[in-house]
Amino acid sequence: MDLTGQINQLEADLQELGSLLEKAERKRVQELLKQEQKKVEKELATKRQQKEQQARREADPSSASKAAYTVKITSYAWDQSEKFVKIYLALKDVHKIPSENVEVNFTERSFSVLVKDLDGKNHQMTVLNLLYPIDEKDSHKKMKTDMVLIMCKKQATKKWDCLTTVEKRSKEKDKPTMEDNADPSDGLMTMLKKIYSEGDDEMKRTINKAWTESQEKKMRGEEMMDF
């Protein structure tokens, strides 16, 4: 049965309950009929509201599709205290939507955020492979003006150098490496090659000039020693 049919049935039930209430003489029976009448009235109001929402969706189909459209949250900031790692998500007008529209789920090494129906869109973010374990039971969210604050409770009070293990590996990969017995000049050469490959034209000209002058000085020094 569709909403219109359900509404018609409830209206008929309500009418009959009213008729019975007029005829009832015993107080207990009257109270029971009144309780049932209130239940039917409440259900009828809900069904009428659902019908209005359905009519609006049918009149403007784009409103439903907009609410279902999900975008990824890619911009955030974070810092930490002794007990918490704090992630700041800037979302305009997020404080104006119901708090239950902001869902945050935690595991020991991850968290996910879903902000539903903000400015006609859903906003989603998932961070995996946190650097250290967190206590998901004591982790929570806080709603601020134009911002959601994610509070990840540290299991240990150690300082986090970055947010995820992926970021840590990336930082370590970018560090120049030098073996214990390696020639220090080899490490310098590796660093210069990296800077040269990643630098702009001006940086490359500067390195080339410095390298040429260095080789010329080296050659002059060797000639003086030969003399």
- Tally of domains in the chain: 3
Residues 52, 75: one domain? no
- Burial of residue 111, with CB atoms counted within 10 A of its CB: 0-12 exposed, 13-18 middle, 19 or more buried: buried
Residue 133 has a pLDDT of 95
Do 76 and 146 have their domain in common?
A: yes
Residue 115 forms part of a structural domain: yes
Between CA 163 and CA 203 the distance in angstroms is 32
**82 part of a folded domain:** yes
Residue 160 resides in a domain: no
pLDDT tens column, 91-144: 999 999 999 999 999 999 999 999 998 888 899 999 999 999 999 999 999 999
Are residue 54 and residue 10 in the same domain, yes or no?
yes
We report the CATH number of the domain holding residue 102 as 2.60.40.790
pLDDT range class, residue 227, cuts 50, 70, 90: very low
Q: Residue 159 domain-assigned?
A: no
CA 92 – CA 118 distance, rounded (Å): 9
32-68 per-position pLDDT tens digit: 888 998 888 888 888 888 888 777 777 765 554 445 5
Q: What is the band of 183 on the pLDDT scale with cuts at 50, 70, 90?
A: low
The predicted-structure confidence for 19-41, as pLDDT tens digits, reads as follows 888 888 888 888 888 899 888 88
Residue 165 belongs to a domain: no
Q: Is residue 65 part of a domain?
A: no
What pLDDT score was predicted for residue 220?
A: 67
Find the mean pLDDT for residues 206-217: 74
Structural domain harbouring 190: 176-226
